[in-house]
Amino acid sequence: MHQTLPNNQLKKALQANKRQVGLWVTFAHQQIAEVLADAGFDWLLFDMEHSPTDLYDVGQQLLAVRGTSTAAVVRVPILEMAWIKRVLDAGAPNIMVPNVRNAAEARDAVAFTRFAPEGLRGVAGSTRAGNYTRYTDFMARANDEVGLILQIESREALADLDAICRVPGVDAIFIGPSDLAASLGHRGNAGHPEVQAAIAQAFKTANAVGKAAGVLAADGKAEAYFAGGATFVGVGTDLHLLIAGADAAAAKFKL
């Protein structure tokens, strides 16, 4: 039966500078993804860098949100072609790459997400990404539909941010406040004025060249980040929601 590769709605929303609210997912369980997919978030980030989530888990999480209005983003553990290739083959429509430090690494990230001749991604159409050969236009459109988000988490990346944003194929940059704070000498204090000023300037740099900017706002500053030029913001994590709910319930009823 003829089927066509779905349009990447998150990619289109970022290009249109449309506010996108998301949640970080660290628990490697399909049921968690199912529950959160219907909560009303625009996107969910499935984290493979700082969680026990493996390739099989991500495959199940991607299936859990398939057919919903919530977009899936997968953060790979590292800028490495094999990881990116396998996660894309598993059906991830959007990839986040941590700790990209310069424009050269940004160009590598683009190449790893594109089939030749535009890139270096290994060609396979019989994976879930191509709906097991049923997306008859997969080879023609896959390069255009993949979403690529690069994390800016170091002093070096800030210094080269304009060039990073100008690399063709980069859809957005995303600030990692904790790593950035550590790089700037304020480990454990992402709220430090120097860190917050760097984040604000990063938004301006990205916006100036027409690139979407985002950040994880587990600190409750989501609205301020949106007001400062962020297009898409992670407003929390599944872990923090569980901790807050559990602590509140225990405090309410414990004598």
Is 240 labeled as catalytic in the residue annotation? no
Query: Which residue stretches of the chain are H helix?
Result: 9-15, 30-37, 55-65, 81-89, 103-112, 138-145, 155-159, 161-165, 177-183, 193-208, 222-227, 238-253
Q: How many Å is the Cα radius of gyration of the chain?
A: 18
- Identify the three-state secondary structure at position 151: strand
Kindly provide the b/e burial profile for residues 131-150, where b requires at least 16 CB atoms within 10 angstroms of the residue's own CB: beeebeebeeebbebbbbbb
Residues making up the chain, counted from first to last? 255
CA distance 183 to 192: 12
CA distance 100 to 248: 38
Which residue in the list 50, 186, 192, 240 is annotated as catalytic?
50
CA distance 223 to 20: 12
Query: Which residues have a catalytic role annotated?
Result: 50
